[in-house]
Amino acid sequence: MKISYSPTPLETWISRFYRQLGIKTPEELDEQRIARSLGIHLFYKDIPSMSYEFGRFKSITIDKRLPSLVQREHFYHELCHILRHSGRQIMMPAAFRELQEWDARNFTRYAALPLHMITVYDFKQPDVLDILSDQFKVTPQLCGERLQKIHDRLKLAVI
C-alpha cells in the first residue's frame, strides 16, 4: 500500500510564498531577507517579541535576549501575525486572541520547516531532529512538533 502525504492548504501556501521570494533551500531562509522582501522593518531589542502595523508601516521586533534558535521561531510567529491577522490583540476578545496565537504557532512550524525543503530528509534517521535543527536553525523541539504533525496526517490518510 502506497501512502502519499497530502499537504495542508497552509503548507502549500507557505511553500508557494517562499518560492515566489526565491527561497528554495534552508540556507536561504533568512529573517532579514524575508522581512526586506516584504517591506517589514526588523529590529532586535531587549524587549518581548512583537509585531506592529500602522498603515503601510510594518515591523517585527525580536527579543535579542533569547537564544538565536528561539529568536528565529519568534520571527516566524510574528511574521504570521503580519501576514495573516489584523487588529490589536489587546483589544480582542480572549477567544479570538487565542485563535490567532494557535494559528501563529501552527504557521511557525510550517514556515520554519517548509514542506518543499524537508521532503529530502530521511525522517527515520535516529538524529533527524538534530539534523533539521542544525539545517533550519530552529529548536529540536519545533522540529519534533513538525514531524509529529506530518506523522499524524499520514495516520489520518490511512484510516
Domain ranges of the chain: 9-158
Instruction: Indicate the average pLDDT of the chain.
Output: 90
Sign of CA dihedral 21, 23, 28, 31: positive
CA distances from 126 to 25, 75, 82, 121, 144 (A): 22, 28, 36, 12, 12
The pLDDT > 90 percentage for the chain reads 75
Q: Which three cell numbers stand for residue 93?
A: 476578545
Query: What torsion, rounded to 10 degrees, do the Cα atoms 5, 74, 57, 90 define?
Result: 100
Q: What is the pLDDT of residues 48-102, one digit of tens each?
A: 999 999 989 999 999 999 999 999 999 999 999 999 876 565 666 677 778 888 8
